[in-house]
Amino acid sequence: MMVGRRADNSRAAPRHVGAWPAVLALFCITSVVEAIGVSQVFAFLPIYVQGMGLSEAEVPHWVGLLSSLVFVLGLPLVPFWGVWADKYSRKAVVIRSSLVEALVFSLMALSREPWQLAGSMLLVGFQLGNTGVMLAAIRDVTPKRRLGASIALFGATTPVGMAAGPVLGGFIVDGLGASLSVVYLSSAALSLAVCALLGLGLREVQPDAPPEGRVLDLAYDAMRGVFSDANTRRLFLLFGISIIARQMSNPFLPLLVERLNVGAVGLASAIAFVVGTAALVGGLISPAAGAVGDRIGFRPVLAVSLVGAGLMLIAMPFAPDIASLAGVNVGFAAFNATVSAMIFALVAVEGRGSATLNLVYLPLYITGIIGPAISAIIVGWGLPVVFVTSGLLLSAGGLFAVARLVRDRQDAR
């Protein structure tokens, strides 16, 4: 397939093979820090907006609205970040993301009204687009025999960061007695540290044949190339289903914790326990899931994980206590991390090179707007409706994957 004016050479021998461990390490650190900040935003958002004078009935609707704003400005830029990275500098595109993170977290810390918080979260759109670029760079420099392990390790960094963020935030608020503004300022400082680390330690990793031509044409060709492939469309559809279910439910998980924590102290710590513990388990499961996929196939593992994650979501609002909710969320995180690991592996192995990897989070940007917006509407019928609806959606995606797997095996006979 041609992208712009060149053929995709992403599977050519990597140019900086000796440097791949350093590239992987730097990108893992970058991903962990980003996940720490993002997890703190969503874990403590309901508490933060409550402190801005909103009534209890207004909080769920504002949480859904604010969560959907994250991807509004980022969606139109999705095809361009990968093109700019491949054409000019992957290093600059990744550093740009960390700089915007620092700005967003700082503005959130300074927000005192819901509309100020909304403006801060809109800017997240300029922060997106780095994960696919990092995946493409890792793919280009890593020896083929190490590629699966490297991608699985990189994929585990997001759950690990999602676990560390709420725990760190809970310690700052309940342990040190500081405010949530301090939590967000701490994340801003970490993001600035990552900028310095990348600037000093990362060597440029560019494709052997950078694309030529107008950026607009290249972006259009990348989008057309990805969606002209039926297999990629199905993978992106399943990834989108898993993400939209997560985006529908995640913003409201702290509200489930709050309901079960009535009369108890340390709400921030309770949220950290439920959200952070689950994310940590998910991070540990992700590399192991890659090994299981290597043995029995990525697609069967993907199908089972989609159904399992859906069942866990359905069970969440019926958990009788904090410990039970944490346990169910651990199950969800483990299945959900496996879904992401299998999608990344399938895209890396079967996808159409850098164009596909650069756009790997396109389903996130689309469903990141739709999911919270839907849940902001249906939450009026009660929190359980949000979790049951998202769980049924995930299970339906799993059944679709099972049906497709059976069909493919029948066609192969």
The pLDDT value recorded for residue 405 is 65
Which residues span the domain enclosing 147? Answer: 9-412
Buried b (16+ CB within 10 A) or exposed e, 337-371: bbbbbbbbbbbbeebbbbbbbbbbbbbbbbbbbbb
Which amino acid type is present at position 315? Answer: A
Alpha-carbon gap, residue 40 to 162, rounded angstroms: 8
Closest CA to 42 of 322, 332, 254, 337: 254
Write out residues in the chain with pLDDT < 70, as ranges: 1-18, 68, 148, 211, 222, 225-226, 263-265, 279, 282-283, 286, 290-291, 348-361, 368-369, 405-413
Q: Give the residue among 13, 1, 23 at the shortest CA–CA distance from 211.
A: 1
Say how many domains are in the chain.
Answer: 1
Residue 367 lies in a domain: yes
Residue 37 belongs to a domain? yes
Would residue 198 count as lying in a domain? yes
Largest pairwise CA distance in the chain? 64
In a domain, 2, yes or no: no
The number of helix segments (H) and strand segments (E) in the chain equals 18, 2
Is residue 138 a part of any domain in this protein?
yes
**In this structure, is residue 3 part of a structural domain?**
no
Assign residue 172 the CATH number of its domain: 1.20.1250.20
90-110 helix and 20-50 helix, angle to the nearest 10 degrees: 20
Which pLDDT belongs to residue 185? 94
Q: Tokens 């590399």 — which residue?
A: 287
pLDDT tens string 316-342: 999 998 888 988 988 888 888 788 778
Beta bridge partners of 3: 6
Name residues whose C-beta falls within 8 Å of residue 350's C-beta, 6 or more positions apart in sequence.
231, 232, 235
**Residue 124 within a domain:** yes
**Residue 12: its pLDDT value, please?**
43
Q: Is residue 261 part of a domain?
A: yes
